[in-house]
Amino acid sequence: MAKLSTTELLDAFKEMTLIELSEFVKEFETTFDVTAAVAVAQGPAGPAAPVEAVEEQSEFDVVLEADGGKKIQVIKVVRELTGLGLKEAKDLVEAAPKAVIEKANKETADKAKAKLEAEGAKVSLK
């Protein structure tokens, strides 16, 4: 195998997504039995700064950004997901961007997003 220069490697990394790069780092660590940790210079000892735990998001809002040109199909899915009547679902779709489901768990939010996107809607999770 040809040896790659540092520039060639960096160019390859620039083309990777963050997920691909993360998977690469994990595989690199496993293959070479190393840990990719940042070395920190030891400074003067002082009071430690409080470390705030990053809380993983547990509640999501499913926000309809646009109907994607398939308003009727999207209205049907909104009715299915929310139990709204026809007029209320139509008003919600026409008022996009608008939350379809609020404070849902990750699994429910992902399923709702997938159903709406299958009908052509543009959806985001917040």
Q: Is 68 left (phi over 0), alpha (psi -120 to 50) or beta?
A: left
Dump pLDDT digits (tens) for 14-64.
888 888 888 888 888 888 887 766 555 555 555 655 656 556 777 888 898
The pLDDT, as a whole number, for residue 103 is: 86
Q: Report the distance separating Cα 123 and Cα 97, nearest Å.
A: 9
Dump pLDDT digits (tens) for 101-119.
888 888 888 888 899 899 8
- pTM of the shown model: 0.53
Q: Tell whether the model's pLDDT for residue 72 goes beyond 60.
A: yes
